[in-house]
Structure 1
Amino acid sequence: MEKRNPVIFLSQKRIEKSIALLHYIWPQHLTVEQLFSQIKILCEKNKCTASARVRLSFSNGNGGLYDGGGKLNYLIEAWSLDTSINDLNVNGMVTGFCPLVKKSCDHVANLKSASALTYSVAAQYVQQQKWNDCIILNHRENICETTIANLFWIKNGTIFTPSLTEGCVDGVMRAYLIDTIETITETPCRPIDLLEADEVFITNVIRGIRWIRSVENINYTNQLTSRLHQQYITSLF
């Protein structure tokens, strides 16, 4: 029996959860497994089976604000990626806090949606500061996520990440690490908690684990982060 890839399994579960939360009507003739078969076919056509970035977008109805309840539409896009993107970034990322936007913690905050204004504003701020990324706070002034990833920090050997109730995206790589490393603690985090951490890293399904070297000029090590990457990311890709 073929070994199930945990990231693919979690991606499928996230799709099912998101569609149900949005009350979209799933086509009777289509299953998530069939959808992923179509993704494989597209990657073969685009010659990116070795390493690819796949964007799967869903919409409901015909695009109007009150078109809900219509047929579910989906779009699959696939691009080739350099396999080195999954290597640990040895130089680390330079980051800081974004003061311009705050993310809400409503019931759709955990979804990865096309409503990207918050992230667009934050990304412009990153460019202005000449950083690699920035950390977005929620309306409670707690740590939420970055413009491109979920956030983790390490203190005294314990790994922490903001809970979903803090408004962060329910990322696939985040879910994979929490399922695999049972000792990860989900908890609210104030900016001062992050600045007092020993290590900080971010995760997303494209880049795996990325080490953050500094937040607001506070520097971090990467000993445990490097081991986590070797143990849990390298084997996936």
Structure 2
Amino acid sequence: MINYNGQIISENSNQINYNNRGFKYGDALFETIKVEDEAVVFCEDHYFRLMASMRMLRMEIPMELTLEFFEAEILKTINANLGTENRVKFTVFRDADGLYAPNQNKIAYVVEVKKVDIQVKESYQVDLYKDFMINPNLLSTVKTNNKITNVLASIYAKENELDNCVLLNSNKNVVEFTNGNIFLVKGKTITTPPLSDGCVKGVMRKNILDVLEKNTEYVLEESSISPFAIQKADEVFLTNVIVGIQPITQYRKKTFKTETAGKLKDLLTNLS
């Protein structure tokens, strides 16, 4: 069952047709959200990122789309699926006719839920994806439906028996993984690319930055990262809201430690 504009319907009912602007032009954005023990994890962060993204894309925000409404629609969809799902995708698209130029900016939304096996892998191997690159601009920080680079990088990873790939921007700096932000650890310094380099404004990224800014054990840097810095790092880890923190164990011939990722996971758990 899915939630289409507030109505619980069968996922096979084909309510979204070929004229949908998300399908035709990628004129849509989404939030991937974790639900745990009937609670929407980082609900406010997801909501405010969604609102900021919709404003950036010049979508009309309905008056009823409050934080409380957003949370209730997610939980309603979870309950309609017997409450067993833990991964939510909340997609908003411009509900309009027109070609590139829409005839209006009103929106519609779809809430999908799935049950996924959430676990941190003990072995996690990555490499660079260099066929296509991310443009370092503000639009790249938004989770729009224009994710063809991520799709192709994921196919590349699968074909090469990798767990993930590191994406680069047009300046050939490290941006992120196909499905999460990237952090490098060197000594007591933890570095992640700035949003100006084109990485997604991740919710888990935000919360890790908040934790690190209050922690005196580590020095936090938001600065551009060259691919060579990966091989020089002591640790590398991926972050997203579903898995939390996934340590990288192998990059080409380099093997990484995982201690800092474990410490940060504990800090985040204590925070929540």
TM-score normalised over the length of structure 1: 0.89
User: 2:68 aligns to what SS in structure 1?
Assistant: helix
Asked whether the 8 Å contact 2:127–2:162 carries over to 1, the reply is yes
TM-score normalised over the length of structure 2: 0.78
Deviations 1:131-156 (A, max 9, x none): 00010100000000111110001001
Asked whether the 8 Å contact 2:237–2:261 carries over to 1, the reply is yes
Measured after TM superposition, the shift of residue 63 of structure 1 is 5.7
Distance 2:243 2:187 in 1: 26
Question: Please, which runs of 5 or more residues in structure 1 have no aligned partner?
Answer: none
Match for residue 3 of structure 2?
none
Q: 2:224 aligns with which of 185, 188, 191?
A: 188
Moved more, 28-37 or 147-156: 28-37
Match for residue 215 of structure 1?
251
Opposite residue 160 of structure 2, the aligned amino acid is Q
Moved more, 4-13 or 58-67: 4-13
Asked whether the 8 Å contact 2:88–2:111 carries over to 1, the reply is yes
Mapping of residues 32-71 of structure 1, within 5 Å? 32-48=67-83, 52-62=86-96, 64=98, 65-67=100-102, 69-71=104-106
1:14 equivalenced with 2:46 (yes/no): no
Distance 1:166 1:232 in 2: 25
Relative distance call for 1:68 and 1:203 in structure 2 (3 A) is farther
User: 2:62 aligns to what SS in structure 1?
Assistant: coil
Distance 1:63 1:115 in 2: 19
1:150 equivalenced with 2:186 (yes/no): no
Q: 2:120 aligns with which of 67, 88, 112?
A: 88
Deviations 1:39-90 (A, max 9, x none): 11111111236x51100111113264321633111111111234xx1x433x
Deviations 1:170-222 (A, max 9, x none): 11100111112204321100011111000000000111000100112211011
Asked whether the 8 Å contact 1:92–1:210 carries over to 2, the reply is no
Distance 1:150 1:10 in 2: 16
Match for residue 104 of structure 1?
135
Relative distance call for 1:68 and 1:138 in structure 2 (3 A) is farther
Match for residue 13 of structure 2?
none
Mapping of residues 122-201 of structure 1, within 5 Å? 122-182=153-213, 183-201=219-237
Aligned positions, number: 228
